[in-house]
Chains A and B, each alone.
Chain A
Amino acid sequence: MTGFTETGNGAVPQVKTVLDFKDQLGTLRARSGIARNQYKLNPGLYCVGSPTPESPVLVTANYKLSFDALRKELTDLAVWILVIDTRGINVWCAAGKGTFSANEIALQVQRAGLEKIVSHRELILPQFAASGVAAYQLKKKCGFKAIFGPLRAKDIPQFLQNSNKADEKMRTVTFSFSERLVLVPVEIVLVWKFFVLITVISFAISGIGQEIYSLQTMLTRGLVAGGATFSAIFAGALLMPILLPWLPGRQFWFKGAVVGAFSGLAYVLTIMTGAGIVEKAGIWFWIVAASSYMAMNFTGATPFTSLSGVEKEMRKGLPAQLICTIAGLCLWITAPFLG
């Protein structure tokens, strides 16, 4: 915050358009999933620069990352920002869940006394809010007309300059390399519990051998199995999102299996040099299965997969993953008895 702007309805906090160290740190924490759901700010009216009653009003969610992504694009502009209460969830997910709604916007418009602050009756909403907000209802609810702005905050200056017109490019969703990369940490944090559990189990079953149960084999083989799970997560949750456009097929479980097959091969050839073929095959199957599952979960984070499509691919993907897991497990358990 840099100060206040006096208005027809009291003082409105003015915010900076440059993110400082604390903001960057917070972004990092939120992106890594550590504090993902607690990163809120107070709903209400804010401003950048020194807006007048004629200045446009931009609406966003009270997730700090959404707010930061917006304000950092507003350098040298004078606009109002109406932050609505989405319980700290970003615009896209909040619209899907129904918390970024016409009702909520109307509520915040009234609470801020917006009609006393601005002379016009227009709100600029992010296009990504459209699945939650019916523009034609907003007018009835609060007297303000909804205009859908561009998808990406970086296009807002140009949108405003073009007298609130977005071109096709601004309205079309993208899924670039960097847009994919920022999603990776959250995907990994979401599965860490699963990873710990699987590792404990794999240590336990790795100890089964010819001497009934040996601590020594449990440690050495358990480490190999744990490493395999780790490399499967690496393949399915990092390599697959990065390589997404270049991987064969359209279904994510298949793309994940392909990355898993190569990563698995690399793993058994470099880490397991001393092991037998049965053991290697067991680990390879497991890496393929786990990588495929991780990749299938990534559908939830992409902006182009339909729910119907995901259900469809899961009917093929899940059985394939299950078969590979069982094959891997059988090979892994029987291997010590064959050598």
Chain B
Amino acid sequence: MKDFRYIDGAAILTLNKEACIGCGMCVTVCPHRIFALQDKKAKIVDLNACMECGACATNCPTEAIFVNPDNGCGCASMIINSWISKVRGKQVNVCSC
């Protein structure tokens, strides 16, 4: 999305080119158009626009993509709750959506 940019250098997203078979699923599913196919391999073209939704990793048949696996919508209260649950060592229901 060109009109909205979030913090640079934050998103955790890696691609293992060796494992990629060039199926193009990651290109299709990404709502931010982070991937492109080049010479039958996927390529990350705009890492900083990634919102870590995990759609690409879920749909990669060879598990070539890694995305920050912490789940959730990413609202502040959810993160505070998850911090609290880490400190108290208990799992709480963190998201309200």
Contacts and interface: CB of A to CB of B under 8 A. Distances in A.
Interface of A: 89, 93, 95-97, 127-128, 130-136, 148, 151, 168, 171-175, 190, 244-245, 250-251, 293, 296-314, 317
Given A96-B53, A97-B95, A309-B11, 17 more contacts: A97-B71, A130-B29, A130-B58, A130-B59, A131-B53, A132-B58, A136-B25, A171-B28, A171-B30, A172-B31, A173-B31, A245-B3, A296-B76, A300-B97, A304-B1, A308-B11, A309-B7
21 contacts: A130-B29, A131-B54, A136-B61, A148-B28, A171-B28, A172-B31, A172-B33, A173-B1, A245-B4, A250-B6, A250-B8, A251-B7, A299-B74, A300-B75, A300-B97, A305-B6, A306-B6, A306-B7, A306-B50, A314-B76, A317-B76
Prevailing SS type, chain A contact patch = helix
Interface of B: 1, 3-8, 10-12, 25, 28-33, 49-56, 58-59, 61, 68, 70-80, 95-97
Contacts of B71: 96-97
A89 B61 CA distance: 27
Prevailing SS type, chain B contact patch = loop
B83 to A, nearest CB: 9
Contact of A310 (B8, B12, B74): B74
A308 B1 contact: no
A306 B4 contact: no
B76 A244 contact: no
Contacts of B73: 93, 96, 300-301
A314 B7 CA distance: 12
A134 B70 contact: no
B68 A171 contact: no
A59 to B, nearest CB: 15
A184 B4 CA distance: 18
Given A127-B29, A136-B59, A251-B7, A306 B77 contact: no
Contact of A293 (B12, B30, B55, B76): B76
